[in-house]
């Protein structure tokens, strides 16, 4: 996309957290905020501000991305939630955090899942909360389940969405893909 002139140059960083399956806590979040982001901004030619920083996550990484969308909206202008794992215990926390985000501080949000995803129930409940609080977001329900083949099938769509977000003409909107 960059070489074809379809997107401005951007950097993708893929941190891997060996503790990905633990309940949320300070570990990965602290490392991302205090170590990884400053390292990337110091080492590479970045535009080190919210409008030029996106966060995306697959599976449990999507669960982390939700937390950052709701608590560190000052750092991320876009947040992609790809089949996010949302623990049942997180429901009350999310319902408390969503209305606390100032209306003009919401990052551009993408949420997607496969129609056979084992976590679809909690993902739908989260999407319903976003809709109930009129949070601008895109919701995509696709055929598939919670697998690498599902995400691989949508990677071009994900990259296009992120690339479009760096364009000043993109405005967030509530969109929904019809459910099967």
Q: CA dist 58 to 46, 53, 80, 136, 171, Å? A: 23, 17, 9, 20, 24
Amino acid 14: pLDDT: 84
Q: Between these two residues, 175 and 70, which has the higher pLDDT value?
A: 70
Q: Between these two residues, 96 and 180, which has the higher pLDDT value?
A: 96
Domains, the chain, with CATH or none: 49-176 (3.40.50.1820)
Beta bridge partners of 56: 80
Amino acid 169: pLDDT: 44
Using the predicted structure, report yes or no on whether residue 4 has a pLDDT greater than 60.
Answer: yes
Name the DSSP letter for residue 178: P
pLDDT level of residue 26 (50, 70, 90 thresholds)? low
> pTM of the prediction?
0.85
Question: Helix 60-71 and helix 90-97: axis angle, to 10°?
Answer: 30
């Amino acid at each position: 996309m960059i070489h074809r002139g379809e997107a401005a140059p951007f950097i993708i960083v893929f941190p891997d957290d060996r503790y990905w399956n633990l309940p949320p806590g300070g570990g990965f979040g602290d490392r991302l905020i205090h170590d990884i982001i400053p390292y990337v901004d110091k080492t590479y030619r970045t535009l080190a501000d919210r409008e030029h920083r996106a966060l995306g996550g697959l599976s449990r990484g999507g669960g982390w991305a939700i937390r950052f969308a709701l608590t560190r909206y000052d750092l991320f202008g876009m947040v992609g939630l790809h089949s996010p794992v949302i623990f049942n215990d997180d429901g009350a926390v999310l319902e408390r955090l969503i209305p606390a985000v100032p209306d003009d501080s919401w990052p551009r949000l993408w949420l997607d899942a496969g129609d056979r995803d084992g976590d679809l129930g909690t993902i739908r409940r989260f999407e319903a909360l976003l809709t109930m609080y009129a949070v601008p977001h895109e919701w995509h329900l696709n055929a598939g389940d919670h697998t690498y083949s599902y995400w691989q099938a949508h990677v071009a769509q994900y990259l296009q969405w992120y690339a479009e977000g760096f364009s000043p003409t993109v405005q967030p909107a509530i969109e929904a893909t019809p459910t099967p």
